C-alpha cells in the first residue's frame, strides 16, 4: 500500500491552509497513494492558543470536516486529517482530534489527543492544557488496501510519541501501521523526533507514518518538519526536511510479516 505523509507550513488563515492541503492531497492521489495523512493543526496555527476556540466544530459537521470528506470522496483516498479542534465538554477548551475518512467520504474513526504538550526552556514555552481537553481512548481503524491486505492502523498525535505504553497497547492488538501527525517544535524535534519515531517502529514491529508541520509559521513558531515513513526494522523509507511537500512510500505487508517472524519480540514480552 502506498502511503503519503503530507508536510505543511500552516498559517492563521483556515482558507489558506485548506487550499494548501487540497493541492498536496491532489499530489498524493496523483502519486498513487491510497492513504494520505495530514499533519497536526493542518487547518490552523494561529497567533494565540485560543484561536483554536474560534474555529471549533461539533463532531459530525463543519467546514473543515466537510473539506476532508469531500476531498476523500473526490480523490478516492483514505484521508487522515490530523488534527482539527472539535467542541469539548469543558468550557473554554476543545479536543485536538484526528478524523479518518474512507474513499466514500465517510468518517470512520476519531482520536482525541491524549497527552497534552508542555515545555518551557526559559526562551520558549507551550502548554496545550490551557485550551485543550485531553482524550482518554486509543483508537484503531481497519483499512482494506488494493493489495488485498487489511491494515490495522493505530492513531496518535505528536506528544503522544513520548509515551510508549500507548503504542505497546496497539502492538498487542496487532496494529500494522502507526500514524503520528505532528507539529513538533524545532527545539524538541531536532533532539528527539527521528529517534523516537524509529524506536516506536522497532519496538512494536510496525510501520510508522509521521506527517509533520515543517518550517517557520507567520506567528514566528518554528516546527521541525522531517516527515517520515519508517518500516518495522527502523529503516527510513522516505522523508522531507522542511517546507510543504508529499512524502510517499510503499508499505509491504510481506515485509511486516518477515520482520515479525524473524524477530518475534512481541511474543517474548514478560512484563
Of the residues 2, 34, 40, 248, which is catalytic? Answer: 40
Task: Tell me if 88 sits within 8 A of 52, measured CB to CB.
Answer: no
Is 259 labeled as catalytic in the residue annotation? Answer: no
Is 107 labeled as catalytic in the residue annotation? Answer: no
Is 52 labeled as catalytic in the residue annotation? Answer: no
Within 10 Å of residue 41's Cβ, how many Cβ atoms? 25
The grid cell for 61 is: 459537521
Angle of the 186-204 helix axis to the 164-172 helix axis, nearest 10: 30
**Locate cell 520482520: which residue?**
259
Of the residues 43, 57, 113, 259, which is catalytic? Answer: 113
Degrees to nearest 5, angle at CA 18 with 15 and 20: 110
The grid cell for 35 is: 492513504
Q: What does the buried/exposed string (b/e) look like for 172-199 if buried means 16 or more CB atoms within 10 Å of the residue's CB?
A: eeebbbbbbbbbbbbebbeeebbebbbb
Of the residues 2, 43, 128, 158, which is catalytic? Answer: 158
Could you give the CA distance from residue 42 to residue 52 in angstroms, rounded to a whole number?
A: 12
- Active site amino acids: 40, 113, 158
Amino acid at each position: 500500500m502506498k502511503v503519503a505523509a503530507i508536510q505543511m507550513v500552516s498559517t492563521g488563515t483556515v482558507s489558506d491552509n485548506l487550499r494548501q492541503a487540497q493541492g498536496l492531497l491532489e499530489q498524493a492521489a496523483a502519486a498513487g497513494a491510497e492513504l494520505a495523512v495530514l499533519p497536526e493543526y493542518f487547518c490552523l496555527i494561529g497567533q494565540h492558543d485560543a484561536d483554536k476556540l474560534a474555529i471549533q466544530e461539533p463532531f459530525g459537521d463543519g467546514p473543515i470536516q466537510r473539506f476532508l470528506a469531500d476531498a476523500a470522496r473526490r480523490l478516492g483516498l483514505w484521508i487522515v486529517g490530523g488534527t482539527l479542534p472539535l467542541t469539548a465538554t469543558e468550557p473554554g477548551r476543545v479536543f485536538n482530534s484526528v478524523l479518518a475518512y474512507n474513499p466514500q467520504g465517510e468518517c470512520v474513526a476519531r482520536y482525541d489527543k491524549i497527552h497534552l504538550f508542555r515545555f518551557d526552556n526559559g526562551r520558549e514555552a507551550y502548554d496545550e492544557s490551557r485550551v485543550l481537553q485531553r482524550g482518554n481512548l486509543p483508537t484503531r481503524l481497519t483499512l482494506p488496501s488494493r493489495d488485498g491486505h487489511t491494515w490495522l492502523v493505530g492513531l496518535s498525535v505528536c506528544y503522544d510519541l513520548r509515551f510508549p505504553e500507548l503504542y505497546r497497547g496497539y502492538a498487542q492488538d496487532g496494529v500494522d501501521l502507526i500514524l503520528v501527525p505532528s507539529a513538533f517544535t524545532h527545539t524538541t524535534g531536532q533532539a528527539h523526533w527521528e529517534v523516537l519515531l524509529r524506536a516506536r517502529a522497532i519496538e512494536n514491529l510496525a510501520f510508522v507514518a509521521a506527517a509533520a508541520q515543517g518550517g517557520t509559521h507567520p506567528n514566528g513558531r518554528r516546527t521541525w518538519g522531517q516527515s517520515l515513513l519508517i518500516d518495522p526494522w527502523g529503516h527510513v523509507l522516505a522523508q522531507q526536511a522542511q517546507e510543504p511537500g508529499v512524502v510517499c512510500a510503499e508499505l509491504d505487508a510481506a515485509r511486516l510479516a518477515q520482520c515479525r517472524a524473524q524477530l518475534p519480540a512481541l511474543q517474548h514480552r514478560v512484563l
